[in-house]
Amino acid sequence: MLQEARILAGVPFSINSGYRCPAHNKKVGGKPTSDHLTGEGADIGCTASRERFLIVDALLTAGIKRIGIAKTFIHAGSRDDNPQGVLWLY
């Protein structure tokens, strides 16, 4: 889904964080149910408004149903046992 979104967005995806081991996830303040712990989450670097829109639109079109938006990145998650159809701010 992430590769499909990258193609749809037409902009480079710089992955700031992908899979995390439990120790690293805890160190960076990740939740115990983080998408990153199963390899089903990625943080995509992004600071420009237009790029942010293109990425979020592409993620939704590709089927990503867990999206978090921060000033410098967008979280894309697909872990099925976490809430779906959610969009949050950091």
6-59 residue pLDDT tens: 999 999 999 999 999 999 999 999 999 999 999 999 999 999 999 999 999 999
pLDDT of residue 23: 97
Domains identified in the chain, total number: 1
Q: Per DSSP, what are the bridge partners of residue 88?
A: 68
Q: Classify the C-alpha dihedral 31-32-36-40 as positive or negative.
A: negative
pLDDT at res. 84: 97
Domain around 41: 2-89
3-state secondary structure of 18: coil
What local confidence, expressed as pLDDT, does residue 45 receive? 98
pLDDT of residue 46: 97
Please give the pLDDT value at position 50.
98
pLDDT (tens digit per residue) in 51-71: 999 999 999 999 999 999 999
Tally of CA atoms within 13 A in the half-sphere of 32 that contains its CB: 0
Q: CA angle 13-18-22, nearest 5°?
A: 165
Q: Is 68 exposed, middle or buried (0-12, 13-18, 19+ CB in 10 A)?
A: middle
Whichever domain contains 9, its CATH number is: 3.30.1380.10
Q: Supply the pLDDT for residue 90.
A: 94
Query: Angle at which helices 2-9 and 49-62 pack, to 10 degrees?
Result: 130
